[in-house]
Amino acid sequence: MPVLHIGVAGASGRMGRALIEAIAQAPDMRLQAALDIAGSPSLGRDAGAPIGAPCGVVISDDIEAALSGCATLIDFTRPEGTLRHLMACRARGVSMVIGTTGMNAEQKAVLAECARDIAIVFAPNMSVGVNLVFKLVEIAADVLDESFDAEIIEAHHRHKIDAPSGTALRMGELIAAARKQQLAENAVYERHGVTGERPASAIGFATVRGGDIVGDHTALFAGAGERVEITHKATSRATFAQGALRAARFLADKKSGLYDMQDVLGLR
């Protein structure tokens, strides 16, 4: 069985540890490199030590050295760091699986440009279940017209730094596209005080932050006398890690191109 040599960015974070554990359990993968930011107290430590499985791979902040021998870099960090890693991967011909959220339109355009030279899977959520939910939301939004009010509710742990989540925004984008709208023109991210009657075209977002919630998302379509709710609840980051590994396997024979989890799962 061919073995894929994988690098992990943000190796000492919650998602990084989940990825390293998943790679350790995958017979067709090997952890080749583990990256973290300069100044991290984890630098120089064995990447597998926090999960009780020392692997001999030392956490480093040297992206150039880390990419040597890597087939794919998996990155769930922050936009600025991801773009630095992207440039290094492009120069070395290393593919990327990117689960970083909070990217703006300009940063996404850079991804698309780099995808001319390397293969990239970029998705706001790598969970197989969530990506099935995306398809269900797309179908529901196509069937249910604007007589059904669309609202998106998401909840995450207290440490998450962006809101709404990338998954919630993707749900909004799918609903807007099905209704031939632009999300930027119809999204309502905050309600307070006397807001007036709800516009039929609005796509509302509600955000909850607290405790150790891994990630809950609901797309709610509320009509007269009935409502449809499509919900996904994650109880472990392992689901995101397994989806990311599936994406890395998908890229194994790809030379270039920008893909998402719908491509990986054959849901197009």
In terms of Cα–Cα distance, which of 137, 115, 92 is closest to 251?
115
Cβ–Cβ < 8 Å for 254, 268: no
DSSP annotation of 46: B
CB neighbours (10 Å) of residue 43?
Answer: 18
Which of 5, 85, 108, 156 is catalytic? The answer is 156
Concerning whether 160 is annotated as a catalytic residue, the answer is yes
- Locate 189 and state its tokens: 């991210």
In terms of Cα–Cα distance, which of 212, 37, 234 is closest to 126?
234
Q: What are phi and psi of 91, to 5 degrees?
A: -65, -30
Which of 5, 135, 160, 254 is catalytic? The answer is 160
Cβ–Cβ < 8 Å for 191, 243: no
Determine whether 177 is exposed, middle or buried from the number of CB atoms within 10 Å of its CB (0-12, 13-18, 19+): middle
Concerning whether 108 is annotated as a catalytic residue, the answer is no
Active centre residues (catalytic): 156, 160
